[in-house]
């Protein structure tokens, strides 16, 4: 009963428009006061959250991708990839997915990925006669790769709240990310074969390819540096983010020569605003998390799940349905922050690896990003393409199926995630 | 019925967790349920490093903290991290015995934070981990990056010519696997619980530092209890404290055995190697005395060490 | 316009704006410090003792200083799915409720945050880490940031009847 009351009040606060951070923090503080617990826990939690070294990676990865964004890297990446694969069947669609994957390796956010590549790719594809809904779905879904392919802000947050290794999570995202990219590419080519109707792009000459690649190369090299640096143990995630920021500055100032003081300050300011908004939610969730721990709610839910659910398959099925439903109205970070403390103990009790479970959560959150009525990537594509939400939402469902299919593969072959970090 | 909530960083299955469960049982039996102990394990409420402030401010009645977490309030506590000062169990037992000069001074200092030490939990000695050969002498440490978990241990690594790097417990495994650091440092039970034998092949049994945890209660909460209840809780604490101290050598032995069975080489230091380490360690003692002044000198004198 | 003390209110908003700019600079500074740290450790095997801690301090201050201005910009992440369906009057009532919630929460946090700061300040607590800075340097950020946030919330509440927007933010990353 208490549980329903608490969750009901929280959802109530969220739905009347209290910002997520204050709804979580305020509920937590209220519960502390009502339960006779010390309210000192609220400021203590806020401080201790921001005192996590790993969270420094959040502003730094944002700075890195915002600098590259302001430096026009999105267009460069798309042109380069298009020069290589644009003449394939469904070539522009394939180029779009690959550009999303490349930008995902620079950016930790799905919205940024969808917006960046969408701005360039949508007009291009529509002009060439690709079916609109397919284009919208492709970009909304392609954008979600941003949080599965490292770096990933939700993975940093998951690692922070569960005290799991963020490097392991990053590396574990590569395998499923590659599978998802492959599935998307195959679907795009199949769609082109079956529906056609677009004007193919002429094959680019070697000179065009070289020119386009030259501008994209440093960004790709930077992404590789970050991932290889993490893989080889040369840097911690936070340091990788710092190096990425410094390198992004060098690339945009000296190589691409697109950086100006105004753009630089805009990137710095934008990163700071996003960081503050994100980390305040993490901190608010921490207050809420402590309050529900004092009321013993995660333990009760875990025990309930353990009693009623029979075996790992049932668990994943039930949890997936719950997360899909929750994902209809919630955004990514809140879902991870609210559900992880409740689900992870039960999952580990059933023998799931915490890193594997983190990747699973990230893919489920990706689904939430593209399911209406609340799906950030839907909104982004809607505004970039000036389309209706209904059109975008209809284009998305085949990609949603592919993502759930990937969850299935991940369940059957856990090494898809765990091989790279632990066995390679 | 009075609630006594205790925050613990580690899971209930760890030996500190098991020990708290024993304490809970003892308290509840002795007080006939007048004190209701609730353990919040796995850092659901507070991480280790937040415990001193949380207990001191009365945000929670009690908590378990690694002793070194008090170093900001009371620099004297890092006496247990003075290199090789506590490399045998006898020395540790003498220092942590009720009423010993070391313990008295430390608890007085901790009391100033608004928290009162109820009892001590043994965690064992710190050891070095490496891959492809032991770290027998400071020479082996020279130019290498070593994981540390605190300022004093960092000073020690620096004194030996290495580069200290702060790595959290959760990133330890990958930091060793990927070579972010060359030398590992942990309590030996950590080797077992994190399966560090998968990434490191050698343990050098340096016991260069002694890791202690303390169960701390909020002073005001404690003062508000009747003397009778206080007596029962103290008796329960005594039982729990003795139990974990007595079991510690067995726990460490089991961890070494598990490490060996999983292919690790365990290296003990010879007397000559030990004195090579002790020779380079003087700056750590100097830094300690500088930070602690008279109080630190008193403790080191009581232990018959330091100050040269 | 039409508000009783436009001058004082714009002073508060201007302070918030300046604090946000300072916060942004602090966060960018973490990048410089940590890059230096990696180079020092990786190439010279000589890690700094200050980079990690100072950058952490910059993050703490940077975030809390940015909060009040986020409210002006309407950039606090908010679920608008339901409120968007309401008529504008009802939306404003919701926004007023949300602002009151923010003001109450921030005031309580600032109040107890001050206690924590004052306690550490008077006890002379230090972090006990490699740099061993006083703890209050970080803790002061809570009463400052949330105190300003409460004030800014008050300003936004007074301005709400004449404001063009009703929501306090958007569903954004
Ligand atoms: Na990414
Ligand atoms: Na959704």
Determine the pLDDT at residue A387: 84
What secondary structure does DSSP assign to A123-186, as a single string? HHHHHTT--HHHHHHHHHHHHHGGGTSSS-HHHHHHHHHHT--HHHHHHHHHHHHHHHHHHHHH
Residue B307: pLDDT over 50: no
Q: Is residue C168 part of a domain?
A: no
Instruction: Say yes or no for a CB contact (<8 Å) between C130 and B151.
Output: yes
Q: Is B145 within 8 Å of C123 when comparing Cβ atoms?
A: no
Confidence grade of residue A310 (pLDDT, cut at 50, 70, 90):
confident
Q: CA A170, CA A231: separation in Å to the nearest integer?
A: 9
Residue C172 and residue A15: Cβ atoms within 8 Å?
A: no
Displacement of CA A358 from its chain's centroid (Å):
12
Q: In this predicted model, which residue has the larger pLDDT, C129 or A126?
A: A126
Confidence band (pLDDT; 50, 70, 90) for C114?
A: very high
Q: Among all ligands shown, which has an atom nearest to the Cα of A379?
A: 2
CB B117, CB B107: distance < 8 Å: yes
Q: In the predicted model, what is the mean pLDDT of residues B121-128?
A: 91
Q: What is the pLDDT of residue C1?
A: 40
- Coil, helix or strand at residue B64: strand
Q: C111 burial class (0-12, 13-18, 19+ CB within 10 angstroms)?
A: middle
- Residue C41's pLDDT band (boundaries 50, 70, 90)? confident
CA neighbor of B196 nearest in space, from B172, B180, B164, B179: B172
Question: Which of C47, C123, C132 is the closest to B151 by Cβ?
Answer: C132
Residue range B32-80, pLDDT digits in tens? 989 999 999 888 888 888 898 889 888 899 999 999 888 888 888 899 9
Mean pLDDT for B99-126 is 90
- Using a pLDDT cut of 70, give the percent of chain C over it: 92
Nearest Cα residue in chain C from A63: C28
Dihedral of the CA atoms C20, C25, C28, C33 (nearest 10)? Answer: -140
Ligand nearest to the CA of A374: 2
Distance from CA of C1 to the nearest CA of A (A): 26
Q: What is the mean pLDDT of residues A254-271?
A: 91
Tally of CB atoms within 10 A around A254? 10
Question: DSSP for A241-303?
Answer: HHHHHHHHHHIIIIIS----HHHHHHHHHHHHHHHHHHHHHHHHHHHHHHHHHHTTHHHHHHH
- Give A162's pLDDT tier (boundaries 50, 70, 90): confident
3-state secondary structure at position B304 = coil
| Residue of A11, A43, A116 to mutate, interface with C, max C Cβ within 10 Å | A43
CB contacts < 8 A, A to C, total: 204
Averaged pLDDT for residues B127-153: 91
> Per-residue pLDDT for B222 more than 90?
yes
What are the residues whose beta carbon lies below 5 Å from ligand 1 (ion)? Answer: A 104, 146, 149, 151-152
Does the pLDDT value for residue B112 go beyond 90? no
Report yes or no on C129 lying in a domain. yes
- A295/B38 Cα distance (integer angstroms): 11
Question: How many angstroms separate the alpha carbon of residue A101 from the centre of ligand 1?
Answer: 8
State the count of interchain CB pairs (< 8 A) between B and C: 49
Number of domains observed in the structure of chain C: 1
- C95–A373 CB contact, under 8 Å: no
User: Is 70 exceeded by the pLDDT of residue C8?
Assistant: no
Residues from A in contact with B at Cβ < 8 Å: 37-38, 40-41, 44, 48, 53-54, 159, 163-168, 231-236, 289-290, 293-294, 298, 341, 421
Consecutive H or E run containing C101: helix C88-123
Number of Cβ atoms within 10 Å of the Cβ of A405 = 13
Q: Which ligand is nearest to the CA of A107?
A: 1
Mean pLDDT taken over chain A = 89
State how far the Cα of B21 lies from the Cα of B23, in Å rounded to an integer.
5
Angle, CA A299 vertex, CA A296 and CA A302 arms, to 5°? 150
Q: Closest residue of B to A168, CA-based? A: B174
Higher pLDDT, B271 or B194: B271
* Residue C124 to residue B27: CA distance in whole angstroms: 35
pLDDT at position B19 is 95
Which of A308-317, B259-268, B298-307 is most confident? B259-268
State whether A40 and B180 contact (CB < 8 Å): no
What pLDDT band is residue C173 in, cutting at 50, 70 and 90?
very low
Is pLDDT of A331 > 80? no
The answer, yes or no, to whether residue A291 has pLDDT greater than 80, is yes
Q: Which domain holds residue C112?
A: 10-161
The Å distance, Cα A230 to ligand 1 centre, comes to 14
Ligand closest to the CA atom of residue A156:
1
Neighbouring CB atoms inside 10 A of A90's CB total: 28
Statement: residue A187 has pLDDT above 50: yes
Residue of B nearest to A231 (CA): B178
Q: What is the ipTM of this complex?
A: 0.84
Q: How far is A386 from chain C (nearest CA, A)?
A: 18
Task: Match 């090299």 to its residue by tokens.
Answer: A221
Chain B touched by C130 (CB under 8 Å): yes
CA–chain centroid gap for A260, Å, is: 29
* C66, pLDDT greater than 90: yes
Q: Which residues of A touch B49 (CB under 8 A)?
A: 48
* Residue C173 covered by a domain: no
* Residues C116, B57: C-beta atoms closer than 8 Å: yes
Tokens representing B261? Answer: 């069975």
**pLDDT beyond 60 at C2:** no
C-alpha–C-alpha distance, residues A396 and A378, integer Å: 9
Asked if the structure places residue C18 within a domain, the reply is yes
Average pLDDT score over residue span A311-325: 90
Question: Is C2 a member of any domain?
Answer: no
Residues of chain C contacting residue B143, judged by C-beta atoms under 8 Å apart: 45
User: Cβ of A275 and C104 within 8 Å?
Assistant: no
Task: State whether C128 and B72 contact (CB < 8 Å).
Answer: yes
Q: Is the residue at C42 inside a domain?
A: yes
Is residue B37 within 8 Å of residue B68, measured between CB atoms? no
In a domain, C57, yes or no: yes
Contact (CB<8Å) A29/C75 = no
pLDDT at A151 over 90: yes
Beta bridge partners of B40: B7
Question: How many angstroms does the Cα of residue B198 sit away from the middle of ligand 1?
Answer: 29
Q: Cα separation of A77 and A116, whole Å?
A: 10
* Residue range A31-72, pLDDT digits in tens: 999 988 889 989 999 998 898 888 999 999 999 989 998 888
Q: For residue A94, which of A28, A182, A30 has the smallest C-alpha distance?
A: A182
């Amino acid at each position: 009963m208490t549980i329903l009351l608490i969750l009901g009040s929280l959802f109530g606060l969220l739905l009347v428009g209290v910002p997520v951070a204050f709804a979580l923090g305020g509920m937590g503080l209220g519960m502390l006061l009502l339960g006779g617990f010390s309210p000192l826990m609220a400021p203590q939690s806020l401080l201790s959250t921001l005192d996590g070294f790993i969270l420094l990676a959040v502003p730094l990865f944002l700075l890195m991708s915002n600098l590259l964004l302001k430096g026009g890297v999105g267009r460069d990446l798309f042109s380069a990839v298009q020069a290589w694969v644009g003449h394939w069947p469904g070539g522009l669609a394939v180029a779009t997915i690959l550009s999303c994957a490349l930008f995902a390796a620079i950016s930790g956010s799905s919205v940024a990925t969808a917006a960046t590549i969408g701005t360039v790719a949508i007009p291009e594809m529509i002009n060439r006669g690709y079916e609109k809904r397919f284009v919208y779905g492709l970009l909304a879904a392609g954008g979600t790769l941003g949080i599965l392919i490292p770096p990933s802000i939700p993975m940093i947050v998951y690692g922070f709240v569960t005290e799991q290794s963020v490097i392991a999570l990053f590396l574990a995202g590569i395998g499923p990310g590659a599978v998802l990219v492959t599935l998307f590419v195959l679907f795009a080519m199949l769609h082109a074969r079956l529906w056609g109707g677009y004007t193919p792009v002429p094959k680019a000459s070697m000179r065009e390819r070289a020119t386009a690649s030259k501008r994209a190369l440093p960004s790709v090299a930077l992404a590789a540096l970050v991932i290889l640096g993490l893989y080889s143990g040369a840097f911690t995630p936070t340091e990788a983010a710092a190096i990425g920021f410094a390198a992004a500055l060098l690339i945009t100032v000296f190589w691409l020569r697109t950086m100006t003081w105004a753009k630089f300050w805009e990137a710095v300011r934008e990163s700071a605003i996003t960081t503050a908004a994100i980390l305040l939610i993490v901190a608010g969730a921490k207050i809420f998390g402590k309050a529900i721990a004092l009321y013993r709610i995660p333990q009760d839910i875990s025990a309930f799940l353990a009693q009623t659910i029979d075996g790992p398959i049932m668990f994943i099925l039930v949890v997936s349905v719950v997360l899909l439903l929750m994902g209809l109205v919630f955004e990514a970070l809140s879902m991870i922050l609210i559900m992880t403390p409740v689900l992870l103990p039960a999952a580990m009790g059933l023998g799931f690896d915490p890193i594997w479970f983190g990747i699973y959560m990230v893919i489920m959150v990706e689904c939430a990003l593209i399911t209406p009525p609340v799906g950030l990537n839907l909104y982004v594509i809607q505004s970039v393409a000036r389309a209706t939400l209904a059109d975008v939402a209809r284009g998305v469902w085949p990609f949603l199926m592919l993502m759930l299919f990937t969850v299935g593969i991940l369940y059957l072959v856990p090494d898809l995630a765990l091989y790279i970090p632990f066995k390679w | 019925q009075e609630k006594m909530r205790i925050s613990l960083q580690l899971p209930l299955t760890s030996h500190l967790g098991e020990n708290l469960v024993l304490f809970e049982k003892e308290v509840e039996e002795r007080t006939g349920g007048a004190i209701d102990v609730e353990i919040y394990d796995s850092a659901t409420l507070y991480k280790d490093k937040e415990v001193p402030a949380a207990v001191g401010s009365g945000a929670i009645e009690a908590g378990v903290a690694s002793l070194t977490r008090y170093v900001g309030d009371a620099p004297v506590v890092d006496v247990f991290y003075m290199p090789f000062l506590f490399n045998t169990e006898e020395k540790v037992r003498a220092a942590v015995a009720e009423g010993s000069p070391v313990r008295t001074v430390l608890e007085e200092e901790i009391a100033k934070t608004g928290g009162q030490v109820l009892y001590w939990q043994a965690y064992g000695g710190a050891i070095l981990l490496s891959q492809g050969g032991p770290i027998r002498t400071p020479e082996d440490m020279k130019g290498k990056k070593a994981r540390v978990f605190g300022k004093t241990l960092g000073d020690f690594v620096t004194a030996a010519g290495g580069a200290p790097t702060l790595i959290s417990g959760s990133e330890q495994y990958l930091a060793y696997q990927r070579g972010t650091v060359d030398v590992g440092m942990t309590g030996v039970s950590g080797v077992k619980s994190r399966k560090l034998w998968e990434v490191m092949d050698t343990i050098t049994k340096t016991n260069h530092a002694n890791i202690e945890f303390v169960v701390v209660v909020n002073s005001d909460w404690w003062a508000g209890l009747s003397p009778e209840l206080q007596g029962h809780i103290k008796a329960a604490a005594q039982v729990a404290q003795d139990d974990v101290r007595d079991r510690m050598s067995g726990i460490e032995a089991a961890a070494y055995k598990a490490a060996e069975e999983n292919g690790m080489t365990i290296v003990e230091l010879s007397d000559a190697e030990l004195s090579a380490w002790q020779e380079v360690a003087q700056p750590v003692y100097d830094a300690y005395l500088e930070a602690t002044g008279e109080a630190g000198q008193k403790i080191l004198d009581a232990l018959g060490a330091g100050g040269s | 316009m039409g508000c009783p003390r436009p001058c004082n209110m714009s002073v508060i908003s201007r302070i918030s704006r300046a604090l946000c700019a300072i916060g942004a600079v602090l966060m960018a500074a973490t990048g410089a410090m940590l890059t230096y740290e990696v180079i020092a450790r990786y190439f010279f095997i000589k890690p700094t003792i200050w980079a990690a801690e100072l950058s952490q301090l910059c993050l703490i201050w940077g975030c809390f200083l940015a909060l009040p201005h986020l409210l002006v910009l309407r950039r606090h992440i908010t679920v608008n799915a339901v409120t968007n369906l309401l008529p504008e009057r009802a939306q404003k009532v919701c926004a007023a409720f949300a602002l009151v919630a923010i003001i109450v929460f921030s005031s309580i946090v600032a109040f107890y945050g001050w206690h924590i700061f004052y306690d550490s300040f008077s006890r002379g607590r230090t972090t006990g880490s490699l740099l061993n800075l006083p703890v209050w340097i970080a803790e002061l950020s809570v009463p400052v940031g949330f105190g300003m946030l409460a004030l800014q919330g008050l300003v936004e509440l007074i301005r709400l009847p004449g404001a063009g927007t009703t929501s306090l933010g958007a569903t954004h990353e």
